[in-house]
Structure 1
Amino acid sequence: MIKKYVTERRSWIMLFIVQQFLILFVAFIDSTIPLRSMLYLVFLSMILFSIFFVIRYSKETKFYRSLEERDNNLDLTSIAGPESPFEQIIETSMTNQTELLKQTASYNLMTLEQEKDDLLAWIHEVKTPLTAMHLMIDRLDDEMMKAHLTYEWLRIHLLLDQQLHQRRIPFIENDLYIEHTDLETIIFDEIKTLQSWCIQKGIGFDIDLEVAEVLSDAKWLAFILRQLLTNAVKYSQASEIMVSSYQRADQTILEVKDRGRGIDPKDLSRIFDRGFTSTTMHQDTAATGMGLYLAKKAAQSLLIHIHVESALGIGTIVTLTFPQKNEFVRITSV
């Protein structure tokens, strides 16, 4: 801070120094003025100026030091009180700007909450005719038309479900209920939802669950598996998708393995980024780039680690590593 203070006051310092040289110069060229006395006067002036400089440094930098040390937030209580008119101008300007920012942030938050509530209400409203549409599709006699309509219905259903959970994820901690969850029930329910799509593509499932139960939130775990199974079906042709669970040390592992098109190695580090689709199939308009992103966000709240291994043309293995029981203290204690 002293370097900044000297830089700020350098014009005053230079003026004082020039004045002292001017006094000595006048005493040097004017023989009637004793040079020794002028030297003594300059020396006393320098001492007095140094003392004044030190005192003013402490007084004038107090306000600015508090500005420099404060946290980057809208709380101005940590700022030292202004002691000069210029400091008062700065404080008044900052206070007014902070109040304006608080009002803007509050308004934007209210608007965002209103939009979120409206969207959630709209999603729930749309689900009613969507359910009725599914019942109507089931009554069709034309199997080909029924299969096509069921596929399109499923796409809409999955997109709405994704939007619904996307709005809920910021508040997922308020919605968690950790319990012993039956993996088989969740997996088979999700496969049943995708059944028509799987039949259309000729995809089957091989289920091998050595570990039948995990400690997790059933609803959010189902959402994570829904994203993984949807991706596996979407990017696979006629083949089998393998879902297995086993114990490794003190942790439960769940694997979803497909023989689909795979992921380019250069894309692996970005697959969990929001909105990222692919570089190899960039023109694929069906991809939203949200499934794995949302699955990752939900998994983090459940302390589940997601790992992906893949190669182009070979397939993809997604591994879910569930936390140990004592790790859930972090969730349940919130």
Structure 2
Amino acid sequence: MIGKYLAERFSWITFYILLHLFIIFVAYLDSAIPLRPILYIVFLSLLMFSMFLIFRYKKETYFYKSLEAREDNLDITNIAEPESPFEKIIENCIINQTELLKRSAATGQMTLEQEKDELLSWIHEVKTPLTAMHLMIDRLDDELLKSHLTYEWLRIHLLLDQQLHQRRMPFIENDLYIEKNDLETIIFDEIKTLRSWCIQKGIGFDIQLDVTEVLSDAKWLAFIMRQLLTNSIKYSENSDIMIYSHERAGQTVLEVQDSGRGIDPKDLSRIFDKGFTSTTNHRDSAATGMGLYLTKNAAEPLFISINVKSELGTGTTVTLTFPKRNDFVNITSM
């Protein structure tokens, strides 16, 4: 701040020094003016000016130091009280801009909440005709047509489900209910939902669950499994997806392994980024880049760690490590 203060006052300091040099120069040229007393006066003047600068530095920079130290938010309560007219102009500008931003943010938040509520309402309304459509498809006699329609119905259902959970994600902590859940029930329910897609792609499942009970939220755990299974099925063909569970260091570990196209090693660090759709087949319009992003965001409040191992052409293994019971002491629903 000292350097900034001197830079701000540079023109005044320069003018003051040049003025005294001019006085010395005039005394040097004019023999009628004694030079030694002039030098003494100039020295005392510069000394007093230096003391004045030191005193004014603390006073004039106090307000600006408070501006520099404040956090980048809309809270202006920590700004020091302005003393000079210029500081008051700055304070008024900051207050006016802050109030404008607060009003804009409140309006934007209200609009966003309204749009979110409307979208959630729309999703719930769409589910009714989708359910009716599924019942109609089940009554079809043409198995080939029935299979194709069921697959397309499933795609719509999964996209709507993903949108629904995405809108709920910011408030996931309010929706958690931690209890003991049966892994086998959750996994088989999700496989049953995806059955028509699996049949179409010739995909089977090899399931070996040494540990079947985990502590988690049933709804969000089912959503996580749905995203992982959907990814495995999407990028696999005529192969089995292996699902294993075991205990390691007092924690339940669940592995979902497929034999699909795999992930390029350079992409592994980005697979959980929002909107990332892989560089291996960048023209794949079916990928949304949201599945693993939402999975990661849903797993964090549940204290589930996710690890992904993959190589191109050899498939992908996703490992879920569930927390111990005492990891949930901060969740009030326990």
TM-score range, shorter chain: over 0.9
Question: Deviating runs (4+, > 2 A) in structure 1?
Answer: 330-334
Alignment of 1:78-157 (within 5 A): 78-157=78-157
Alignment of 1:104-253 (within 5 A): 104-253=104-253
- Further displaced range: 162-171 or 322-331: 322-331
Q: Aligned partners of 2:184, 2:267: CA distance in 1, in Å?
A: 31
Q: Aligned partners of 2:96, 2:284: CA distance in 1, in Å?
A: 49
| AA of the residue aligned to 2:216 | S
**Are the aligned partners of 2:178 and 2:333 in contact in 1 as well (CA < 8 Å)?**
no
Q: Secondary structure at the match of 1:301?
A: coil
Q: Aligned partners of 2:31, 2:201: CA distance in 1, in Å?
A: 110
Partner of 1:72: 72
Deviation digits for residues 72-122 of structure 1, max 9, x if unmatched? 111111111111111111111111111111111111111111111011000
Q: Aligned partners of 2:22, 2:206: CA distance in 1, in Å?
A: 97
| AA of the residue aligned to 1:187 | I
- Further displaced range: 187-196 or 56-65: 56-65
Partner of 2:62: 62
Q: Aligned partners of 2:333, 2:120: CA distance in 1, in Å?
A: 29
Deviation at 1:50, TM superposition (A): 1.8
Partner of 2:307: 307
Q: Aligned partners of 1:55, 1:280: CA distance in 2, in Å?
A: 65
| AA of the residue aligned to 1:258 | D
Partner of 2:317: 317
Q: Aligned partners of 1:326, 1:92: CA distance in 2, in Å?
A: 51
Q: Aligned partners of 1:231, 1:201: CA distance in 2, in Å?
A: 13
Q: Aligned partners of 2:121, 2:130: CA distance in 1, in Å?
A: 14
Deviation digits for residues 212-265 of structure 1, max 9, x if unmatched? 100000100000000011111111111211111100111110011111221222
Q: Aligned partners of 1:278, 1:38: CA distance in 2, in Å?
A: 79
Q: When the two structures are aligned, how many residues end up with a matched partner?
A: 334
Partner of 1:22: 22
Q: Aligned partners of 1:312, 1:4: CA distance in 2, in Å?
A: 55
| AA of the residue aligned to 2:242 | M
| AA of the residue aligned to 1:274 | K
Q: Aligned partners of 1:283, 1:46: CA distance in 2, in Å?
A: 73
Q: Aligned partners of 2:35, 2:204: CA distance in 1, in Å?
A: 106
Partner of 2:288: 288
1:264 paired with 2:275, answer: no
Q: Aligned partners of 1:269, 1:67: CA distance in 2, in Å?
A: 38
Q: Secondary structure at the match of 2:274?
A: coil
Relative distance call for 1:144 and 1:333 in structure 2 (3 A) is closer
Q: Aligned partners of 2:215, 2:126: CA distance in 1, in Å?
A: 33
1:33 paired with 2:37, answer: no
1:298 paired with 2:287, answer: no
Deviation at 1:295, TM superposition (A): 0.5
Relative distance call for 1:328 and 1:140 in structure 2 (3 A) is same
Return 5+ residue gaps in structure 2 as ranges. none
Return 5+ residue gaps in structure 1 as ranges. none
Q: Secondary structure at the match of 2:329?
A: helix
**Are the aligned partners of 2:177 and 2:333 in contact in 1 as well (CA < 8 Å)?**
no
Deviation at 1:332, TM superposition (A): 3.5
Q: Secondary structure at the match of 1:331?
A: coil
Q: Aligned partners of 2:50, 2:333: CA distance in 1, in Å?
A: 59
Q: Secondary structure at the match of 2:189?
A: helix
**Are the aligned partners of 2:236 and 2:260 in contact in 1 as well (CA < 8 Å)?**
yes
Q: TM-score, normalised by structure 2?
A: 0.97
Q: Aligned partners of 1:97, 1:204: CA distance in 2, in Å?
A: 60
Q: Secondary structure at the match of 1:308?
A: strand
Q: TM-score, normalised by structure 1?
A: 0.97
Deviation digits for residues 112-141 of structure 1, max 9, x if unmatched? 111110110000000000000000000000
